[in-house]
């Protein structure tokens, strides 16, 4: 598949899925909505790929659905509405059933729906200028999936605070590290190198073992 909104490439055993709408904060438009599912499938099915890094081009990691663009594309809007209503989204590695380890490397702003990709990754690292916020309630929207995913993984008060403060407060990278939302903060210029290094380490492990561990641990989140 030829991608317009993503960069998908393979560097050694590491697959890269890079959001590539920097002019729009990497927001998910109708095209990216479709391309994400294809990209995860491509990397999952590529036998050379043993670990996947997910990051963004430009100043933002990911800023959620591009509501304005979707509003101009009734068919895409209907599809995304249906997937939302039925919780049948196909945006993240978790939605798409990816069994390989996924590292999110958060550059710059991660807002709203961008938190999906943090909640659904196995390992999360961030640039020191990364910030996290959830503006949904400030524009009359409900925050559900991405914050539910986060509250299963980090102290809940930080999640309810982020959800209820909306656009009016950001969590910085260092606090995200303290809370365990991310495990490592590096200089912005070193983020991709560090992600590649981590991914290469993961790639040394037996893929079948990693798959089994990933499945076991994510299954544990399915109990109350």
Partner 1 sequence: MSYEHLIVERHGPVGWLINDRPEVRNAMNSAMRDEFAEAWTELDNDPAVRVIVHTGNGRDFQTGVDVGEVASDGVGMERYRQSMEDFDVHFTSWHQGVWKPVITAVNGICCGGGFHWVADSDLVIAASDAQFFDPHTSVGQVVAIEAIGLMKKMPVEAVMRMAFMGRHERMGAERAYELGMISEIVDPPERLRERAQELGETVARNSPAAMAATKKALWGALETGLTDACKQGARHLVSMWGHPDQAEGPLAFAERRDPDWQPL
Cα(117)–Cα(114) distance, rounded to whole angstroms?
6
Residue 166 in contact with partner 1, rule: CB under 8 A = yes
Among residues 2, 45, 87, 189, the one that binds partner 1 under rule CB under 8 A: 87
Phi-psi region of 182 (alpha: psi -120 to 50; beta: other; left: phi over 0): beta
Among residues 45, 85, 204, 208, the one that binds partner 1 under rule CB under 8 A: 85
Cα(57)–Cα(55) distance, rounded to whole angstroms?
7
Does residue 172 contact residue 129 with C-beta atoms inside 8 Å? no
Structure-block tokens of residue 5: 């909104």
Closer residue to partner 1 in complex, CB, 147/196: 147
Residue 223 in contact with partner 1, rule: CB under 8 A = yes
Quote the Cα angle for 52-92-57, to 5°. 65
Residue 179 in contact with partner 1, rule: CB under 8 A = yes
Per-residue interface string for the shown chain with partner 1, residues 105-144, x marking contact by CB under 8 A: -------------------------------xxxxxxxxx
Residue 154 in contact with partner 1, rule: CB under 8 A = yes
Backbone angles phi, psi at 174, to 5 degrees: -65, -40
Per-residue interface string for the shown chain with partner 1, residues 26-45, x marking contact by CB under 8 A: --------------------
Residue 157 in contact with partner 1, rule: CB under 8 A = yes
Nearest C-alpha neighbor of 106 from the set 88, 96, 89, 120: 120
Residues that bind partner 1 (CB under 8 A): 67, 81, 84-87, 136-145, 147-149, 151-152, 154-161, 163-166, 168-169, 178-180, 218, 221-224
């Amino acid at each position: 598949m030829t991608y317009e909104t993503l960069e998908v490439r393979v560097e050694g055993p590491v697959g890269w899925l890079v959001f590539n709408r920097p002019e729009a904060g990497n927001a998910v438009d109708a095209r990216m909505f479709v391309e994400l599912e294809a990209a995860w499938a491509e990397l999952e099915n590529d036998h050379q790929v043993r670990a996947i890094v997910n990051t963004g081009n430009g100043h933002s990691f990911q800023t959620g659905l591009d509501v304005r663009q979707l509003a101009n594309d009734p068919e895409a809007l209907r599809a995304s509405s249906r997937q939302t209503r039925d919780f049948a989204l196909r945006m993240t590695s978790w939605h798409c059933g990816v069994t390989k380890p996924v590292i999110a490397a958060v550059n710059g702003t991660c807002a709203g729906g961008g938190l999906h990709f943090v909640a659904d990754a196995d390992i999360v690292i961030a640039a020191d200028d990364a910030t996290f916020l959830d503006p949904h309630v400030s524009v009359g929207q409900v925050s559900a999936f991405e914050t539910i995913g986060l509250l299963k993984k980090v102290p809940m008060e930080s999640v309810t605070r982020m959800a209820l403060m909306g656009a009016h407060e950001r969590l910085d990278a260092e606090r995200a590290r303290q809370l365990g939302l991310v495990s490592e903060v590096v200089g912005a210029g070193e983020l991709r190198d560090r992600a590649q290094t981590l991914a290469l380490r993961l790639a040394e492990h037996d893929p079948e073992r990693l798959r089994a561990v990933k499945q076991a641990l994510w299954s544990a989140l399915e109990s109350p």
